[in-house]
Amino acid sequence: MRYGETGYNLEIDLTRSNIERVSTNPEDSQLYLGGLGTNAKIMWDRVPPEVEAFSPDNLLIFAAGLLCGTPATGCNRTIVTTISPQTQLLVFSMMGGFWAPELKYAGYDKVILRGKSPKLVYLWIKDDKVEIRDASHLKGKGAIETAELICQELKEPKAQVAAIGMAGENRVYFASIEQGRSSASRGGIGAVMGDKGVKAIVVRGTKDIHLSRPAEFMELCNEAMDYIKFRNENPIPGVMPILAILGSPQEMKIHDEKWHTENFMWGNSRERRKGFWTEEIAKDWTQTMEKMRTRLISCYNCPMTCGATISPPGKPTYMMKCFSKLTYTMAAFSDLAFGLGIAQSATEHGVDGFSAPQVMAFALELLEAGILTKDDFPGMPEDSEGRFYWLLDHIVRREGIGDVLANGTYWAARQIGNGAEKYAHNNIKKQEQLPLKLSMLNPIYFLMYATGEKLNITQIEGQFPQAPFPTREEREAFVKDWFQVPDEKFKQYFLDWELRGEKSIPFYPTPEMCCDIVDWQERMHYIDDALGMCAGLSSFPLKPPYHIHNYPKLISSGVGLDMDEATLTEAAKRYRTLVRAINTRRGMRRKDEKPPANHWKKRFPELEKELLDTYYAFKGWNEQGIPTEETLRDLGLDYVYEEFVKRGVYSDNGDTPSQATPAVIDKEV
Amino acid sequence: MATEKKIIKAIKINADLCNGCRACEMICSAFHSLPMYSSNNPARARIRVVRHPLEDIYVPVYAGESVGAECAGRDKYIIDGKEYDECAFCRASCPSRDDFKEPDSGLPLRCDMCEGEDEPMCVKWCITDALTLEEREEEVEIVEPQEKLDIGLASLVETHGMQKIMDAVTRMSSLKDFK
């Protein structure tokens, strides 16, 4: 018997309508844990670099994390993995909610889709019964609406539904997969689902999930819960409100948006509005939120209430979380009421709340610059809000200019030409990033932006404070109960970090220290992504309840794997390296690893080179960012090395798919 | 009349505070698994959250007595414009529905307040305080057991006459089963 996991995957060939229940190898769990780790292994084994996102041979894997469905608070994430149509690299977007535990209770760890269905279908998984069902009546329906209709038609109100909207059906490169209060949004995985002809995957499970050593496991769970209560009552002083507490950024609870509205950029990541947050706006936005917000809600088995039910006047109710609260508002230079309203439509259509608003703002900039003309936008209203609705509608339908914009700013700019490229200025590896433009290079963030393969800063940062605290006393107070550090040296790094002078950015932390800091932060995210743990209780907030010291115990008592801090760190390094290997094999090289040129005003090319060189060496990658033979052999990834040699990867500086990349973009603004 | 103090345990359900996370269902099923916590499965829980997020319906309901037959009719509540499922608030394990039954055997489930623990597990795990435990003392009348018997016998004597009752007691006392 398997503990924690079920030991079975569902393999579904959509071309042939074939469904198989396949048992998995327990050794893979020891080596790659589960979730992202085992997804990466499957992608390496079965999806060679010649396979494109919209090829029937591309896989779309929905994985429940290793500990999903166990009593571990907050462990509910579904890790969706495929090849992204936007970046053409491996994408592994995640969603919270209720889907992953339900899949476990139905008796499966993963659903692996391959092939393409000739007509639109949905999958219905109820314990041992799995069906491919016709979904032609759901074509064009919203993602949330689809979930409601399916639950009604199956008479299964307790089923959990992951669905795409029109954006996914029409293969928009930033289409999301929506699941009630959660979504897996980045990298266009919704487009791959649409390409496979799958409107939704519906799950209901009524089986048991077992624990290996229950008493030990429950003690760890109780400790975590006690610590959550402690942290709820004791926010961290000296940091902004969303970083002071646990949870996914508590955007639905916190009304004070001074930091976001004045430090993040408006429009197409262009304009910083100092002094925007007036008392009047604070009052107005607070009223808006309180009027539309019905209830604060949580994902499965989690008390954090990071999400909310939102009822915009005259529109259906939907659920929201996190920073989509402001992305539409700020891209359109509008107010919160507009943002919460259009997010309803965006959720039904199923688009990424980071990319979609930027793509729309980018289109309007091109219009203003005369690169696109009025004729490209027939019938578009004059007001900013109306224009955003018009653009959203045309993008998700791929109508007119919407068909071009639906490919995201990077590809759209190349299609439009005529100088449009310099307006697609906020991308890393072809994907739109958070709208941030800052002054002084931060060496830690430089490395995270450059080398992160999750392509979202919030998915790599977290454990180390974003900025130094002004006084020594404050720093000493902070490190006093900072037991989450993997090593005492991190406390010293932080104690010595000053706002100004010798020990300040960009030259402090030193490149060596930056390597430690980035590696620790990234490691915690990768562990979460294998376990299915929400980053909001682990890798994202400062001083979280789950950390490198209690994770090995949770894994060993829950799953029965032999695990300590060293073996867990090694396993995380193994599948992190495998993720890099997949992207290396797809052509990713050093030249792709750079933040947007205008992310910081003050840049330091020599320091940046040193940082990257040092970090690559620290990670065991060569000067091109390719894992070396020694690294691969140490991790037992000999099969990767052999493949690299066979394909001549070490002598190839990357032609596919990155030849058209940066240089051009990186000069502007 | 003599009285005594009795502890009454009640779970206060504040549906307005429910965040819909279903930790209560999970931990209930884990606590009642054998060996304790060795597995969990919300379908086996003795509590369920009636949950329709888009209608803002979140109602934790506990399993009560099982009944052999369903009610003559069913009920449906509408409160503040929200329509609740048929028999949503009913605690019975009943032939009319799958709730509060073991998913494999169909045997009925019933909340036992996690007897022996300081508080029911669902309450402990609900840190949003939708579920809280209230204990109160109540004065209850002490009813002498003998007195109950006297009342019962008196009514039998009234119906059958004293002699018949005496004969019956004599006859029964010689039977093995009643010794």
pLDDT digits (tens, 9 = 90+) for A221-244: 999 999 999 999 999 998 888 889
End residue of a domain, out of A204, A223, A248: A204
Q: By the 8 A CB rule, do A238 and A478 touch?
A: yes
pLDDT tier for residue A134 given thresholds of 50, 70 and 90: very high
> Closest residue of A to B29, CA-based?
A208
- Residues in chain B with CB shorter than 8 Å from the CB of A157 are 52, 85
pLDDT tier for residue A654 given thresholds of 50, 70 and 90: low
In a domain, A474, yes or no: yes
> Closest residue of B to A311, CA-based?
B54
Tokens coding A325: 């609260």
- Taking only Cα atoms into account, the Rg of chain A, rounded to an integer number of angstroms, comes to 23
Task: Give which of B109, B154, B146, B130 is closest to B24, Cα–Cα.
Answer: B130
Tell me the pairing of strands A182-184 and A438-440: unpaired
Q: Is A387 in the same domain as A470?
A: no
User: What range defines the domain where residue A175 resides?
Assistant: 8-204
pLDDT digits (tens, 9 = 90+) for A566-617: 999 999 999 999 999 999 999 999 999 999 999 999 999 999 999 999 999 9
> Closest residue of A to B126, CA-based?
A303
Rounded distance between C-alpha atoms, residue A628 and residue A617, angstroms: 9
CATH of the domain at A87: 3.60.9.10
Residue type, A46: R
Q: Is A505 in the same domain as A566?
A: yes
- Residues in chain B with CB shorter than 8 Å from the CB of A217 are 37
What phi, psi does A230 have (nearest 5°)?
-60, -45
**Which residues on adjacent β-strands are paired with residue A264?**
A436
pLDDT digits (tens, 9 = 90+) for B63-100: 999 998 999 999 999 999 999 999 999 999 999 999 99
Q: Is A159 in the same domain as A244?
A: no
Secondary structure (3-state) at A574: helix
Sign of torsion over alpha carbons A100, A103, A109, A112: negative
Q: Is A245 in the same domain as A306?
A: yes
Average pLDDT (A132-160) is 97
Q: Above 70 in pLDDT, residue A667?
A: no
Q: By the 8 A CB rule, do A101 and A301 touch?
A: yes
What percent of chain A has pLDDT above 70?
97
End residue of a domain, out of A385, A409, A432: A432
In a domain, A219, yes or no: no
The alpha-carbon gap from B58 to the nearest alpha carbon of chain A, in Å, equals 10
CB contact under 8 A, A214 and B103: no
Q: What is the pLDDT of residue B177?
A: 67
Rounded distance between C-alpha atoms, residue A355 and residue A361, angstroms: 10
Q: Is A419 in the same domain as A543?
A: no
- Residues in chain B with CB shorter than 8 Å from the CB of A225 are 125, 127
Q: What is the pLDDT of residue A453?
A: 96
Task: Give which of A267, A310, A316, A317 is closest to A288, Cα–Cα.
Answer: A310
pLDDT digits (tens, 9 = 90+) for A440-478: 999 999 999 999 999 999 999 999 999 999 999 999 999
Q: Above 80 in pLDDT, residue A662?
A: no
pLDDT digits (tens, 9 = 90+) for A401-415: 999 999 999 999 999
Task: Give which of A454, A549, A365 is closest to A39, Cα–Cα.
Answer: A454
Q: What is the pLDDT of residue A639?
A: 98
CB contact under 8 A, B20 and A206: no
What phi, psi does A20 have (nearest 5°)?
-135, 145
What's the length of chain B? 179
Q: Taking all residues of chain A, what is their mean pLDDT, rounded to a whole number?
A: 96
Q: What is the pLDDT of residue A657?
A: 47
Query: Which segments of chain B are extended strands (E)?
Result: 3-13, 39-40, 47-52, 57-62, 78-79, 82-83, 131-141
End residue of a domain, out of A188, A204, A220: A204
What percent of chain A has pLDDT above 90?
95
Calculate the CA A14 to chain-centre distance: 26
Q: Is A579 in the same domain as A629?
A: yes
Secondary structure (3-state) at B23: helix
Using CB atoms within 10 A of its CB, is residue A622 exposed (0-12), middle (13-18) or buried (19+)? middle
In a domain, A225, yes or no: no
The alpha-carbon gap from A302 to the nearest alpha carbon of chain B, in Å, equals 6
Q: Is A415 in the same domain as A442?
A: no
Q: By the 8 A CB rule, do A43 and A85 touch?
A: no
Task: Give the ipTM.
Answer: 0.94
CATH of the domain at A300: 1.10.569.10
In a domain, A160, yes or no: yes
| From A449-453, A555-559, B173-177, the region with the lowest mean pLDDT | B173-177
Nearest to A209 among B40, B53, B58 (CB): B40
In a domain, A213, yes or no: no
Rounded distance between C-alpha atoms, residue B111 and residue B121, angstroms: 11
Average pLDDT (A15-37) is 98
pLDDT tier for residue A658 given thresholds of 50, 70 and 90: very low
Q: Above 80 in pLDDT, residue A518?
A: yes
Q: What is the pLDDT of residue B149?
A: 83
CA atoms within 13 A of residue A129's CA, in its CB half-sphere: 5
The domain tally of chain A equals 3
Q: Is A662 in the same domain as A532?
A: yes
Q: Which of A216, A222, A301 to substitute to test the interface with B, most B CBs within 10 Å?
A: A301
**Which residues on adjacent β-strands are paired with residue A600?**
A438
In a domain, A209, yes or no: no
Q: Is A488 in the same domain as A421?
A: no
Question: How large is the angle between the packed helices A336-349 and A279-292, nearest 10 degrees?
Answer: 40
Q: Above 80 in pLDDT, residue B179?
A: no
> Closest residue of A to B26, CA-based?
A71
What phi, psi does A204 have (nearest 5°)?
-140, 130
Average pLDDT (A147-157) is 97
Chain A residues touching chain B at CB-CB below 8 Å: 69-71, 73, 98, 105, 144, 148, 157, 180-181, 205-211, 214-215, 217-218, 225, 228-229, 232, 294-303, 305, 309, 316-319
Q: Is A242 in the same domain as A308?
A: yes
Q: Quickly count: other Cβ atoms within 10 Å of residue A537's Cβ.
A: 27
In a domain, A505, yes or no: yes
Chain B residues touching chain A at CB-CB below 8 Å: 19-23, 26-27, 30, 33, 35-44, 52-56, 58, 85, 103, 125-128
Instruction: Give residue A247's region: left, alpha or beta (phi > 0; psi -120 to 50).
Output: left
Q: Above 80 in pLDDT, residue A669?
A: no
pLDDT digits (tens, 9 = 90+) for A33-70: 999 999 999 999 999 999 999 999 999 999 999 999 99
In a domain, A156, yes or no: yes
The alpha-carbon gap from A161 to the nearest alpha carbon of chain B, in Å, equals 13
**Terminal-residue alpha carbon distance, chain B:** 34
DSSP state, residue A664: T
CB contact under 8 A, B35 and A214: yes
Q: What is the pLDDT of residue B148?
A: 79
Nearest to A209 among B41, B56, B85 (CB): B41
Q: Above 60 in pLDDT, residue A22?
A: yes
- Residues in chain A with CB shorter than 8 Å from the CB of B19 are 295-298, 303, 305
The alpha-carbon gap from B161 to the nearest alpha carbon of chain A, in Å, equals 60
Q: Is A506 in the same domain as A654?
A: yes
Q: Is A182 in the same domain as A246?
A: no
Q: What is the pLDDT of residue B178?
A: 64
